[in-house]
A and B are shown apart, each in its own frame.
Chain A
């Protein structure tokens, strides 16, 4: 029996869509597999515990790990209060108004600004104008500006999901607005906020363009927030682009991917548990 044409079209379309979806997964697996296969052999414990020597040809990546961790922590510590505060203001303290529209527009635009522009901005503003030099501080603040929109939007989503009745109960018990926020809203939005923070951590670790212009590329062990540093992504970029050592580049790349995989899995698990808990 011949299929009517519309069923034939449907079959072809569905096959194409399957191919598209599967090839997307395929390419992603290829990228991960390639870097991990070449890189994992380099990941012996010394790689994580030694500082780089000879421009990164020898030794490990300890100073990069420390620099990455410090910069990321700083970025998250600065951006989280700002982001959560903004979300609370937008959701709990104002209705659709001119001011909230301006804030939303600013946030949306900020999330689309390319990282190289954040880098240039961080360079003139933090490094030169505020005289912080190439440092963890300049880099962390620049990255904080970059991740702010992510934290705002995930917190807003989390607050949006809290049933009205929670607020009504709090008010009916005589709570004022701030008490409602701290006792009813924030505790319930916490898992959502946490997910946003974890996603931002991933983004800070992977960021290169903005960090290389603001935190520098020094391989020395950072001693304070004012030390310049070379984060893992920047280290990976320099090793690979300048052809310093492919072996070390693959190792650093594999470490980066494993870190991002771990962070993403944690965020996904949390998010899933949170969604299941809510519904």
Chain B
């Protein structure tokens, strides 16, 4: 009987290690495929190079790194205020009738496939931008708007959790001191929940940088340094997504090398978010 119990425990341990094993395999294979090319081109030339012409063997991804951050920045500009508004609305202001509607709506926002967002952006948003603001329409602006909505569920669900986890006494104390409901929310509850909120924003940022399919459909994919929000752009993810279909040899390795850069950025963001939410948990 005891042996059986031990055996079960060991089996469960092995199963429990599966996620870390997958993470290790991903890291190993992405680096194994991409790293040799980074050394061949030179890390500096790869990361800071401006020319991406695979047929001539020049692999510089600096414009894509910059574009990725532009698109993400734009998405946060829209996603943070909207996300906070929805969070506060859900936690503090919802009349039950609308809350009943908004919460499933946000779940659904998370469930809509990214290709649908991309498609909607392509047929509705892109023409709007082209007609009213000029430029090709397939632009950083269009991409940012779509991404802003795509990261909402991440921002809302995590910051809502951290506000809900606050002791009731914070709110009661502030109200008892004569603060208005808004002052209580803005000066007491939001600051108290800030590490969770910041973690949610960082995770949203990770989602934005990592989004691929919707961005392929909306950004226009021009390989150049963006100079305005109305420019077409190519991000790290879309570079991989577009060219993986036909790349071979060094070209394919360069795409894996692009993925290494993306992976490192994502891991830094993830770790920051995890550390922040640990601190919220009080260690």
Q: Do A and B bind each other?
A: yes
- The answer to whether B201 has its CB under 8 Å from any CB of chain A is no
In the bound complex, CA of A108 to CA of B101 (Å): 29
In the bound complex, CA of A16 to CA of B93 (Å): 12
Q: Tell me how many residue pairs across A and B have CB atoms closer than 8 Å.
A: 250
- The answer to whether A43 has its CB under 8 Å from any CB of chain B is no
A275 to chain B, nearest CB (A): 12
B109 (CB) vs chain A CBs: closest residue: A28
Contacts of A109 in B (CB 8 A): 23, 267, 270-271, 274
The answer to whether B105 and A24 have CB atoms under 8 Å apart is yes
In the bound complex, CA of A230 to CA of B206 (Å): 28
The answer to whether B212 and A20 have CB atoms under 8 Å apart is no
The answer to whether B29 and A89 have CB atoms under 8 Å apart is no
A11-31 residues with Cβ-Cβ distance < 8 A to B are 13-14, 16-21, 23-25, 27-28, 30-31
Contact of B210 among A117, A145, A268 (CB under 8 A): A117
What count of chain A residues pass the 8 Å CB interface test? 85
- The answer to whether A237 has its CB under 8 Å from any CB of chain B is yes
B85-123 residues with Cβ-Cβ distance < 8 A to A are 85-86, 88-90, 93, 98, 101-102, 104-109, 111-120, 122-123
A84 (CB) vs chain B CBs: closest residue: B15
The answer to whether B259 and A117 have CB atoms under 8 Å apart is yes
**Contact flags (1/0) for A189-202 with B, using CB distance below 8 Å?**
00000000001001
A154 to chain B, nearest CB (A): 13
A164 to chain B, nearest CB (A): 20
B216-261 residues with Cβ-Cβ distance < 8 A to A are 216-217, 237, 240-241, 244, 255-256, 259
Contacts of A123 in B (CB 8 A): 244
- The answer to whether A209 has its CB under 8 Å from any CB of chain B is yes
Q: Name the segment of B37-45, B53-61, B165-173, B180-188 touching the other chain.
A: B180-188
The answer to whether B111 and A264 have CB atoms under 8 Å apart is yes
Contacts of B216 in A (CB 8 A): 241
The answer to whether A86 and B15 have CB atoms under 8 Å apart is yes
Contacts of B11 in A (CB 8 A): 85
In the bound complex, CA of A67 to CA of B18 (Å): 26
The answer to whether A6 and B240 have CB atoms under 8 Å apart is no
The answer to whether A206 and B113 have CB atoms under 8 Å apart is yes
Contacts of A20 in B (CB 8 A): 81-82, 84-86, 89
Q: List 23 A-B contacts (CB under 8 A).
A: A10-B181, A14-B93, A17-B89, A17-B93, A20-B84, A21-B102, A24-B105, A31-B117, A82-B19, A85-B12, A86-B19, A112-B273, A114-B210, A114-B237, A116-B212, A118-B26, A119-B244, A177-B9, A206-B116, A208-B212, A253-B116, A260-B108, A264-B107
Interface residues of A (CB under 8 A from B): 6-7, 9-10, 13-14, 16-21, 23-25, 27-28, 30-32, 34-35, 81-82, 85-86, 88-90, 93, 99, 102-103, 105-110, 112-121, 123-125, 129, 145, 148-149, 152, 176-178, 199, 202-203, 205-209, 213, 233, 236-237, 240-241, 249, 253, 256-257, 260-261, 263-265, 267-268
